[in-house]
Amino acid sequence: MSDSEMIVNLHPVVVRLSEGVSIWNADCRDIMDPDMRVDAVVTDPPYGIGFAAQPTKWQRRAGMTPKDWDNGSAKVDWLLSLSELVVIWGGNYFPLPPSRGWLSWFKPDAPPSMGSFELAWTNIDQNPRQISQSIGATNAERLGHPTQKPLRVMEWTLEQAGIPKGATVFDPFMGVGTTGAACIRTGRKFIGIERDPEYFAKARKRLERELSQIQSTFDFGGGASAPTHNVSVHRRRTLCAVRCDA
């Protein structure tokens, strides 16, 4: 059974880690409410370049095994209707509208076999911006995800997008929770969805750890509890209704 077949058979699971942080173990295509609205979308979807299927020598030494979730690119056009603020890393791989507000992560220590920078598409009317961040400097953050973004890059992304403190940020391709960790550290609320059970478990532990360490101007505390977001099942699809002030 392939990774994709195993994942599709999952029943959606939602965990409310605090008043401001909720995460889903599900396929975002199966649980989305078309009328959902959030304050901001910040995500890093599969680019469809097969990177996860070919772990590097160093990734294999760390125990990483090939996965097929990056063999096909995600559909991202539906994200544009969710918010007035949308940031999609890897936006150059998708058919998105023209934008002048591109963000760039420059990798000064990128090996010759990798690109020296990555791009994020935004729907923001502003000048392009770039951050320089070493790949090697983030080794301590790594949790076994082959395309994990540095936490500093995601914190910078939130700031460059002008997302207000206390706003709700949505990431439907959560991975191991870097966007969520950045939100917690910078005083923003977070809703994340990840379909891979292994990555979801790692994201949950990571965000629980962040919540236990942070002091914010609004309540992140309380630990895991029952979800507050409304969940309903209709024609085999689970739809989530999310309020930005939840």
pLDDT in tens, 100-148: 999 999 999 888 878 899 999 999 999 999 999 988 877 777 766 677 8
Q: How confident is the model at residue 7 (pLDDT cuts 50, 70, 90)?
A: very low
Stretch 59-78: mean pLDDT? 65
240 — pLDDT class (breaks 50, 70, 90): very low
pLDDT of res. 142: 72
Q: State pLDDT tens for residues 176-228.
A: 999 999 999 999 999 999 999 999 999 999 999 999 987 544 444 444 333 33
The answer to whether residue 2 scores a pLDDT higher than 50 is no
Q: What does the DSSP 8-state code read for residue 78?
A: G
Helix, strand, coil abundance in the chain, percent, nearest 5: 25, 20, 50
* Other Cβ atoms closer than 10 A to 212: 10
pLDDT of residue 60: 56
C-alpha to C-alpha distance for 97 and 234, rounded to whole angstroms: 32
At residue 35 the predicted structure's pLDDT band, cuts being 50, 70 and 90, is confident
Mean pLDDT of 86-108: 95
Question: For 18-29, what is each residue's pLDDT tens digit?
Answer: 999 999 999 988
Least confident range from 1-5, 31-35, 176-180: namely 1-5
User: Which residues neighbour 189 within 8 Å (Cβ) at sequence distance 6 or greater?
Assistant: 20, 21, 166, 167, 168, 169, 183, 218, 246
pLDDT of 150 = 92
Which among 129, 134, 85, 73 is positioned nearest to 109, based on CA atoms?
A: 134
pLDDT at 49 over 70: no
What is the model's pLDDT at position 137?
78
Report pLDDT digits (tens) over 154-168: 999 999 999 999 999
- What is the model's pLDDT at position 115? 86
More confident residue, 164 or 63: 164
**Residue 228: what pLDDT?**
36
Split at pLDDT 50, 70, 90, the class of 1 is very low
